[in-house]
Amino acid sequence: MLRTVISLVVVWVLTPVISFFTAYVVIGHDSSQVDTIGDIRLQGFPIWFQESAPGYSVADGWHPERFWLNTALWAIVLTALVLIGFRLLRGRGVSQRIL
């Protein structure tokens, strides 16, 4: 039980870091303002939270509310994976000493 709680705390602490590094994944382009600032790249996976373009500064393209939604989604997915993993290990007769 304690190992499960510690694993979940580690996952929750690392989730914002994982979410931040997904900003390097370009998931779309917005060409609506090509004439003024250029092609806008939408970055972040699975919920984009940063826009970048030649005419944008980093602060202009940052959306903190979308970043925290992305972080919450990653937390839910990773928590489910950890809990399912522990459940599968217990179901296979792994010693409780290991868990």
Question: Structural domain boundaries of the chain?
Answer: 2-91
Contacts 24+ apart (CB under 8 A), 21-24: 22/70, 22/74, 23/49, 23/50
For residue 95, what are the CA distances in angstroms to 3, 73, 88, 92, 99? 13, 32, 12, 9, 7
* Beta bridge mates, 52: 41
pTM for this predicted structure: 0.76
Q: List pLDDT tens digits, range 52-94.
A: 888 777 777 889 999 999 999 999 999 999 988 888 877 665 5
Strand-by-strand arrangement of the 40-43 sheet: 26-30, 40-43, 50-52
Token pair listed for 5: 């709680």
For residues 8-30, average pLDDT? 91
